[in-house]
Structure 1
Amino acid sequence: MKILFHIFSDRLGGYEIQLALLGKALQAAGHSLSLSCPKGPVRKLFPTDEIIDAEISDAVLDRLCPDLVLTLRGPIARVARLAKKRSIPVIWFCGYRPSLLPDFAYWRGLLPGLMDHVFVPSDWLCTTVRREIPDISVSTLPCAVNANLFNPIRERSSLRQALGFTEKQPLIAYAARLSTHKRHGDLLQALKLTERLLPDAGLLLLGWTSPTDAAFWDQLHCQILELGLEKRVRFVTALPEAVPEFLSAADVFVSPAQNEALGCALLEALARRLPVIAASPVGCESLIQDSRCGLTYPVGDTNALARCLLRLLDSQNLRDQMGQRGLQAVKQFHTVENTQDHFLQTADHLLSCVAACSNHAASLI
């Protein structure tokens, strides 16, 4: 199968990494992969057969003759229309955008009749889309983690020392891009609320920034100073692929983000045997509740978040139990093999539909 990945982006976020994992698996299985319009670090993620710097056009599609187009970011509607002129199936991998919920007007105008299938990263978002736009084909393409994350954690003590934390110090971790809807401030407030019972608890913030994030970082830094947390909080600029190593130093992972579909860092934390705390509603809510690998709380409720932190940091036994259950859940549902199998099943179905339509059209001539 010849697959054209269209990623008009210079962002290196979780969904780019998910597609990179999928792309590597597809190539290993013998499929041809071309990449259109990557910029910056995204180019280095994909071991492709060909990288096309130009935007997708009639000429590009006629030269490549792909069996399938998979689009992530950029002018996805224009790309889909060009592909549909040639009866090439189009799949949209929809990474979560806060502005799309709960207003589905954009989706209703774009998806029916244009996208053959939509992949979303969580069952929660899939159920919501099916309810709001029943006329489109949508399914969950499970986010995945590398199998090497399942290996036992090593060098925890030296990593903590390098970060400025002691071995016995309770340590909370959060990995996310600096953005308002990620709600870093909620976690800072909750940490302050635990101060009486956990005066030495530390917070490790892992993130990646761009020039547009400078104002938000200044705001966050001021909040740290106002709360008197400057000695307990560390911020490490880390690209997504470096996050799992740093997570090895933590005791608990927290995701206070609002309307997160399914954070890749959360899955990486589970693969590292960390219990997780996540704001609700969230895409990982069913995973957390079904596997009993963590706790949830109402988004923005810093008192509830503080109670969750106290409960987990007070019990090594509970953390170990939840961490082990989380690891098993990720191994069962969120491996690259699961993602690849579901993608290929969907792609084969779409190609079969195209072939059937072509045969029917030929019989009418």
Structure 2
Amino acid sequence: MLPLMPAPRSSAGPVRTGNGRLRLLQVLGGDGRGGADQVALALADGLHERGFAVAFFVPPGFVRHQGERLRGRAVTLAQSFSPFSAATLGALRQAAQGVDLVLTHDSPARHLTLAAKALGGLQAPLWFMRHCIMRPPALPWAPWQRLWVAHQLAASEVIAESLIASGYPAQRVTRLYAGRNLSSFFTADSPAISVLRARLGLDVHPAPFCVGMVARFDRWSGWHPEVAHPKGFDVLFAALSRLDFPYRVLLLGPPNPEDHAALRAMAQAHGARPDWLIFPGFQNDISAYYGLMDVNVLPSRREGLGLALVEGLAAGVPVLGSGSGGIREVIQDGRNGFLFPEGDAVALASLLTRLAREPELRRRLGDEGRRQLQETAFDEGRLVGGFMDCLAREHPASVHGERMP
């Protein structure tokens, strides 16, 4: 057994509340820029408003990008998320002292907390929130998850189904749609949008058709520009190569110049215009950028939900998504946007052409999407309410001011 060592650095001690209610530790291995990170922050904000204490165990990059959102919270920094690091396991054990529940949102956090459970360094109940579709048959960790993970929250119905198909007990799976505070998307400031339009060179005449895509961009060993990408960048670029009118592509998500160069190479390889790609870089508040888009596209393969589509709907932008995974739970085909077959660049090109030529259709889809979104479960309030309902069902004492067992 690895020796457990004290935490290298912590900005606050164990999570405490004066009213004895739930004390939650969220463990995330991301750098604060991903969709799962946004969901974790939204959950923390909503629970804090209800009198619960929420702490974070995160890498330094998370604090670098989300320092303002974390202000006033207990935060423990981990220099590594290796489940084989004694220092990291010790840091997690110290951060989890006195908490009532540990919740993870991504793979590095899941592997670390499972190792801590196995070594006896994590006494509080462990919950996972899944943002990606599981791939059956179950991975080697799955039997241990069934033993050590008290509950699994699935960010969409298709994720819940994949968890159960992988062998996890259905009675310990709850579908809880990923959500975030959407108020800034509903009320984006028109002057701010005008400033961005000028800064990004979109205030030309005639105005080019602006295609938005909000997604992370990952590269791996053996990556090359012709590769089929999980988020479908290749599908978008192949579709754009078929357009016969001026366009610009607003790519929000890829943060680094190296990523921008790789995406320009990918665009060229698939016949799109590399010089028509626009990279604003990482932005904490992206609501005004949606105001620049004529259409919001997510051509992913195996998408868990597609929070970027939800943001587009809130901003009144028509959405196009592959018929992949949870995207079908967001897009009502023909009402708030359109679905196209996964990987089908020809179908996507046809939809882009239609929307470019029919501004009234774009307006109708955007208005209907915004209206429908107010009736669905993708905002922060529904996320927090659903989490509270699950707590009340699984651990009712924690909601009413007593410690969880």
Q: TM-score range by the shorter chain?
A: 0.7 to 0.9
SS in structure 1 at match of 2:240: helix
Q: Which residue of 2 aligns with 1:66?
A: 99
Asked whether 1:104 is paired with 2:141, we answer no
Choose 28-37 or 139-148, whichever is displaced more.
139-148
Asked whether 1:132 is paired with 2:166, we answer yes
Choose 134-143 or 16-25, whichever is displaced more.
134-143
Q: Which residue of 2 aligns with 1:222?
A: 265
User: Deviations for 1:26-74, whole angstroms, at most 9, x for unmatched residues?
Assistant: 1111101122244223462434542223645499469732121112343
Matches of 1:295 and 1:279, distance apart in 2? 9
Q: Which residue of 1 aligns with 2:129?
A: 93
Q: Which residue of 1 aligns with 2:248?
A: 202
Q: Which residue of 1 aligns with 2:304?
A: 261
1:338-357 equivalences under 5 Å are 338-352=382-396
Return the match for 1:302 from 345, 364, 385: 345
Asked whether the 8 Å contact 2:26–2:57 carries over to 1, the reply is yes
Matches of 1:143 and 1:329, distance apart in 2? 17
Distance 1:287-1:83 versus aligned 2 partners, 3 A rule? farther
Return the match for 1:236 from 258, 275, 280: 280
Asked whether 1:173 is paired with 2:212, we answer yes
Q: Which residue of 1 aligns with 2:242?
A: 193
Return the match for 1:77 from 107, 110, 114: 114
Asked whether the 8 Å contact 1:292–1:326 carries over to 2, the reply is yes
Q: Which residue of 1 aligns with 2:4?
A: none
Matches of 1:114 and 1:5, distance apart in 2? 17
Return the match for 1:24 from 42, 45, 49: 45
Matches of 1:175 and 1:148, distance apart in 2? 16
SS in structure 1 at match of 2:190: coil
Asked whether 1:145 is paired with 2:169, we answer no
Q: Percent identity?
A: 23
Matches of 1:187 and 1:70, distance apart in 2? 35
User: Aligned letter for 2:385?
Assistant: D
Asked whether the 8 Å contact 2:254–2:260 carries over to 1, the reply is no
SS in structure 1 at match of 2:250: strand
What TM-score do you get using the length of structure 2 for normalisation?
0.76
Asked whether the 8 Å contact 1:208–1:237 carries over to 2, the reply is yes
Q: Which residue of 2 aligns with 1:2?
A: 23
User: Aligned letter for 1:93?
Assistant: M
Matches of 2:254 and 2:196, distance apart in 1? 19
Asked whether the 8 Å contact 1:9–1:39 carries over to 2, the reply is no
Matches of 2:169 and 2:121, distance apart in 1? 18
User: Deviations for 1:286-338, whole angstroms, at most 9, x for unmatched residues?
Assistant: 32127821111112111011011112222122211211222123322212110
Q: Extract unaligned runs of 5+ from structure 2.
A: 1-21, 79-87, 219-228, 400-404
Matches of 1:120 and 1:105, distance apart in 2? 17
Shift of 1:280: 1.8
Q: Which residue of 1 aligns with 2:76?
A: 52
Matches of 2:178 and 2:334, distance apart in 1? 16
Shift of 1:217: 4.5
SS in structure 1 at match of 2:332: helix
Shift of 1:222: 2.3
Distance 1:291-1:141 versus aligned 2 partners, 3 A rule? farther
Q: Which residue of 1 aligns with 2:154?
A: 120
Choose 225-234 or 54-63, whichever is displaced more.
54-63
Matches of 2:52 and 2:89, distance apart in 1? 20
Give every structure 1 segment of 4 or more consecutive aligned residues whose post-TM-superposition deviation is greater than 6 Å: 82-85
User: Aligned letter for 1:22?
Assistant: L
Distance 1:66-1:142 versus aligned 2 partners, 3 A rule? same
Q: Extract unaligned runs of 5+ from structure 1.
A: 356-360
Matches of 1:85 and 1:172, distance apart in 2? 46
Q: Which residue of 1 aligns with 2:291?
A: 248
Q: Compute the RMSD of aligned alpha carbons.
A: 2.9
Asked whether the 8 Å contact 2:251–2:278 carries over to 1, the reply is yes
SS in structure 2 at match of 1:4: strand
Shift of 1:261: 0.8
Matches of 2:163 and 2:272, distance apart in 1? 43
Asked whether the 8 Å contact 1:80–1:115 carries over to 2, the reply is no
Asked whether the 8 Å contact 1:118–1:139 carries over to 2, the reply is yes
Shift of 1:170: 1.6
Shift of 1:186: 1.4
Q: Which residue of 2 aligns with 1:272?
A: 315
Distance 1:291-1:124 versus aligned 2 partners, 3 A rule? farther
Distance 1:63-1:308 versus aligned 2 partners, 3 A rule? closer
Return the match for 1:39 from 60, 74, 95: 60
1:312-351 equivalences under 5 Å are 312-332=355-375, 333-351=377-395
SS in structure 2 at match of 1:296: strand
Asked whether the 8 Å contact 2:90–2:121 carries over to 1, the reply is no
User: Aligned letter for 1:186?
Assistant: V
SS in structure 1 at match of 2:56: strand
Matches of 2:96 and 2:174, distance apart in 1? 30
SS in structure 1 at match of 2:169: coil
